[in-house]
Structure 1
């Protein structure tokens, strides 16, 4: 996972409530805007679909009654029917035109569009019904039912057209729809009764009687349920109409027909009261529908105001939250940045500077290196962290100073012990030389040589302690020393020197001040090469002048090192770490690295073609003395020149 700054995480945390607030405001605003568009859609549906559909139903009702009368009266009078059909065709054309406009298409759902198509298909089927009526090949009841199928399809259209989400408006629209349906059932009754009255003998067929038995109670139920669903303003005129004499008379005539299974005694009164009551219902349907549409428009206007209020308040709240969060985040980020800068200053500047001073043996003022961290922020926790971190910083610097003091003390102990051991070893080597000159027996001399090698290793270990303590490991001189002599002495100090093959080294001279340390460095590498390679193999030592100095290669034919370990060893040789008492397994590597750093020598471990390791020692140009030849230098005795083989 990609790293992220604390500032980013802090602002992300502060932005969460803002995002939630924006989401909530978007939801509320979207909900309110949705209601607005839903009401506007309902108003458009009323104007383009519901209103022309209601006009179509009115004309269908008139044509239905005219058709029933035409089928009943002898001889039939077709003038009224022709007029009715023209009016129906005009209403159907108007409905088809308005429902097919682009505006109507934008507000119709798939379900509403299917309902419109169903009404249009039913209207298209009227020609077949009209032909049967004209030819007298249908009954009065069948014709009424055929027209009823068309109006029923319109009422199913109404179910899809009522789309307002506001629950009160939806209840009023549903109530008016039931009343309109009740008006259609009354029209069907009127068509059957008017046709029966116009028939000679004035008789209702059995099927017509049974139809009226179903129509009358359904009409009353739909009318009462529809009126009861309306509020006081919409219901008032309907309450007056239901309490009127016309409504009571219609109910009485329906009851008489149902009870007697015959036309009422006052047949002429039905025509008048049915037309009067039906016309009153039609007028109320138009006025109440318009009033409901006005309410819808007003509600949409109210929603617009709510949108403005909600939008403005929400945006103001969000803007305030953003400003407050940004200000708080900036303050917190500033305080945290101060702590981060203090931590970076400790890690990158102060501690390295203290370590460097201690490494150079300088005194360190803890108070000056660990000043108090300024904590002027308003956040208590950050102030507490700042105080705690200031304590940690001071403790770290004090610990570094203490560790440096401890290392210096240990270095002095190592140096003192190494010097004593070195003196004893030198005396022992001198004594061995005396004894060797006095003995001539080969076996005894061989034992003395073995003892001499072991003593030489002891002397090298003592010099290694001196290197670890920071002191000089051996005697030095200002006279140049042949590199070949340095290599020869290093080979001679290795216990398994017989396994080391050293071809002639080109003429080159090494600065005498570095001769002892370079000899020790090469000895460590040769000892390591002979120790970690099979005893049957040889260790090759080669040297040559190169562009940047003199390169000496020590190649063994052992098992080598894994890549990761070899890279770690090279890193330690390039920049040897501080001596760690807990890590005593690689003291030879540490000694080589410290000697190399002392004189600017570069030591690199490479993979040998034979599978082992090739140690490349690059003596820098500053250690190589030019302008000398072996002949001019060979005349000097090493003892008089100040540099001797390390045995002394």
Structure 2
């Protein structure tokens, strides 16, 4: 059902795509994508605008430099062409001198043009580069053309005129390309008007060259007619409309002057003269006024062209500055827009992240601080106000505000659920504890009834059954105490006085089901403090139980204890299959830090043994570690800290009392050797007797009856109490003196199988011989009315050490049959006189008793009971 109710994960749903980036990255992408888009739009436009501005600046610079030099060269070539025609027609020295001087000025203009053309050749405008190279190529032919003129042949005049006309036409075309800027419409418009002025001036210069020659033929006459028509058209159609106010006034002053009228009169006279054939004819008389008129009008037109060119340059500079300014402004505005968009996006994203971070901090605070604090307070039994334990987040109407409102509702529900679960857990724990206490009371009563039944009956078979039920009851009591431990309450078995560690181990082993498979090996001589005895017995019993249950039935489980500088270490080792490394790690983590017990914490594993061990170990500071043993099984290492131990020097003075001497002669060896038995609390069948002999087995029948009669003085049995102190009140009420005395009594009536090797038996016999050779001890006084010569009888607490005996209740019969001897042994006082008994006499009596008992037992020894019995 849990698997069916499990929420689907992202990997289980193909439609649910896991987000591989954080929310901060997503918000950054939301900012970055518009920023990159805006940047992709702004950068090319800004770059294009900047490039256009730079191109315009370069073009304006080239137009200014190359345009001015082109105009100067154009004027010098026009003047050289006129003087060349005059020298060819007149041939005078003055004409030659004037021509040579003009050639020098022309060469200087050519050099200036060539210097300025370097920038034009590097221009990005291919047409400008091409026209510049054409003009430079034309100028390279100037020397040859001048040589032809110097020959004064019939071809010299037309050839020289054609050359100069071609060069000037190419220069005008170059100037047109220089000023034809798409990014500066004003410059392009002004450039077209300048080209019209240059052409008109060139046509007028060609007319001047014809008039200056003094003669004209039909071909030249036809060219003259074309030049006059084109010039007049340019003046009327292209030049005047394009001139500004001041330029238009200057041009009107030139065209309205008498000199201009004389020029037009000469043109009309030449146009009116009819010329045919190749024979040159003289010019009309109006041509005499041409020279004076052109000398006045020519400089005026040149000044107009220069002013117009300067205005065009200023327009270009203004256009360049305006373009650069607009480009810079556009770039700055674009950059500001980009920065503003980025800052605004970052501010919005940061605001979202801050609000989300507030939600995150509130969630972490709820999960790591407030909820644990609420749970801790509930565990301490405090009342928790749900409203006070929840901190409301500010809400709003947007999406994050609704998320905050949902979080407020969620944390309120979480705290309220924690309170309800704590109450439910407390109720469940209370039920556990109540059931445990009730079961403990019933079990104590059952153990008391079993004890009474054991004292009343002598039949060995019946006693064997009683001891089997007694053992099951003891195990049930331990399981009941486990419930109480999980409920967080202290067990009811408590000791006031220290107990030897070996007795603690044997009592713990006796509380397990398969105690017959457990070998208690070397044990420490340390003594465990009384308050820790019960929990330590329970802890060791749980570990031994696990070792026997999870190992094959034909294997042994060994328990050893050793005193070390850090306390006493107890090792419990089985020969089972062990566990994986992950299971060891999980178990050690559980043992090191006991969690809060919960029914859901068990998951699919209902075993609670490690929970109980962890709780008990944490209560007393005991360190428990599980690891793989050398046999492949599991080794449990229990470290008892020094704070739980008491030195042997602090043992009660009467701890060794009540131990009769062993027989002097060696005991005969039988198939079922007598083990050494101990008992602290409840033991094996009969209360915690743990066998330490390998050949031993539970022996019912006459042996049980014999041990019942020998309970007080049996030399081969070493019995320690089940408790040094008193148990809880209910236990004493149910069982008289509690479980401690009954554990010692039952330990004498039934022994567990174990393993004791030859070394142990040899040591035991040597110890018995030492005790036999020791000085005579003062024998205990015989109870009143009993003959010292008769066999010893069972007396309550007689088998206990003096320091472990409980004081009889006030008003009890101190001289009774069961308590009188014990009271005299512990207190050394009594109403009856002390009967002296020699050690030799007592040893001989006990030896005879043991020999006769063995003979009777060997004669009618029944089969040992099975494990189920």
TM-score, reference length from structure 2: 0.54
Higher mean C-alpha displacement, 542-551 vs 424-433: 424-433
Q: Deviations over 1:154-185 (max 9, x none)?
A: 855864676684x4335425534654774698
Change (3 A) 1:555 1:317: same
Task: Give the superposition deviation at 1:406.
Answer: 0.7
Q: Within the alignment, does 1:111 sit opposite 2:124 as a pair?
A: yes
- The Cα of 1:616 is off from its aligned counterpart by 4.0
Q: 1:276 to 1:41 in 2, by over 3 A?
A: same
Cα pair 1:502 1:540 within 8 Å, conserved: yes
Equivalent residue for 1:416?
434
Partners of 2:215 and 2:283 within 8 A in 1: no
Q: Distance in 2 between matches of 1:261 and 1:611?
A: 137
Determine the structure 1 residue equivalent to 2:206: 190
Per the alignment, residue 465 of structure 1 pairs with: 483
Structure 1 runs not aligned, ≥5 long = none
Find out whether 1:600 has 2:621 as its counterpart: yes
* Alpha-carbon shift at residue 531 of structure 1 (Å): 5.1
Deviation at 1:536, TM superposition (A): 7.3
Contact 1:551 1:617 in 2 (8 A): yes
Note if contact 1:551-1:616 (Cα within 8 Å) is conserved in structure 2.
yes
Of 616, 621, 639 in structure 1, the residue corresponding to residue 722 of structure 2 is: 639
What is the count of residue pairs matched by the alignment?
629
How far 1:53 sits from its partner (Å)? 4.0
Q: Name the counterpart of 2:806.
A: none
CA distance in 2, matches of 1:602, 1:261: 140
Query: Contact conserved, 1:482 with 1:630, CA < 8 A, in 2?
Result: no
Contact 1:501/1:538 (<8 A) preserved: yes
Give 1:620 deviation, angstroms. Answer: 3.2
Q: Which residue of 2 aligns with 1:354?
A: 374
Deviation at 1:243, TM superposition (A): 9.9
Q: Distance in 2 between matches of 1:490 and 1:334?
A: 61
Contact kept, 8 Å, 1:119 with 1:150, in 2: the verdict is no
Deviation at 1:543, TM superposition (A): 4.3
Q: Does 1:51 align with 2:68?
A: yes
Q: 1:561 aligns with which of 580, 596, 604?
A: 580
Is 1:90 matched up with 2:103? no
- Please point out which of 493, 500, 510 is paired with 2:528: 510
**Is the 1:182–1:219 contact (alpha carbons within 8 Å) kept by the matching residues of 2?**
yes
- Provide the secondary structure at the position in 2 that maps to 1:466: helix
Q: How far apart, in 2, do the equivalents of 1:482 and 1:518 lie? A: 12
In structure 2, relative to structure 1, the CA distance for the partners of 1:485 and 1:238 (3 Å cut) is farther
Q: Out of 609, 615, 638, which is 1:617 matched to? A: 638
Q: Is the 8 A contact 2:62 2:178 kept in 1?
A: no
Report the alpha carbon displacement of residue 439 of structure 1 after superposing the two structures with TM: 5.0
Distance in 2 (alpha carbons) for counterparts of 1:253 and 1:614 = 140
In 2, the alpha carbon distance for the partners of 1:153 and 1:437 equals 150
Rounded to whole Å, the distance in 1 between the matches of 2:511 and 2:549 is 14
Change (3 A) 1:157 1:316: closer
Q: CA deviation at 1:410?
A: 0.4
Taking a change above 3 Å as real, the CA distance of residues 41 and 122 of structure 1, as seen in their structure-2 partners, is: closer
Local SS of the residue matching 2:596: coil
Q: Where does residue 493 of structure 2 map in the other structure?
A: 475
Kept in 1: contact 2:592–2:614 (CA 8 A): yes
The alignment status of 1:202 with 2:229, answered yes or no, reads no
Aligned partners of 2:633, 2:85: CA distance in 1, in Å?
Answer: 118
| TM-score, with length taken from structure 1 | 0.68
Kept in 2: contact 1:182–1:220 (CA 8 A): no
Maintained 8 Å contact 1:69/1:195:
no
Q: Which moved more, 1:259-268 or 1:508-517?
A: 259-268
Choose the corresponding residue for 1:524, options 524, 542, 566: 542
Cα gap change, 1:352 to 1:280, in 2 (>3 Å): same
Please report how far the alpha carbon of residue 22 of structure 1 lies from its aligned counterpart in structure 2 after TM superposition: 11
Match of 2:308 in 1: 288
Pair 15,439 (structure 1): closer, same or farther in 2 beyond 3 Å: same
Q: Unaligned stretches of 5+ in structure 2?
A: 1-18, 658-719, 726-738, 748-869
C-alpha distance in structure 1 between counterparts of 2:268 and 2:444, whole Å: 146
**Counterparts in 2 of 1:627 and 1:67: CA distance versus 1, 3 Å:** farther
SS of structure 2 residue aligned to 1:639 = coil
Contact 1:178–1:223 (CA under 8 A) maintained in structure 2: no
Q: For 2:244 and 2:617, locate their aligned partners in 1 and report how far apart those are by CA, in whole Å.
A: 106
In 1, distance between residues paired with 2:641 and 2:232? 118
In structure 2, the partner of 1:404 is: 422
Select 1:131's aligned residue among 141, 144, 147.
144
Partner of 2:685: none
- My pick for the range that moved more, 196-205 or 612-621, is 196-205
State the Cα distance separating 1:414 from its structure 2 match: 1.6
Structure showing greater radius of gyration is 2
Relative to 1, partners in 2 of residues 1:162 and 1:132: Cα closer, same or farther, differing over 3 Å? Answer: closer
> Residues of 2 paired with 1:476 and 1:169: CA distance?
114
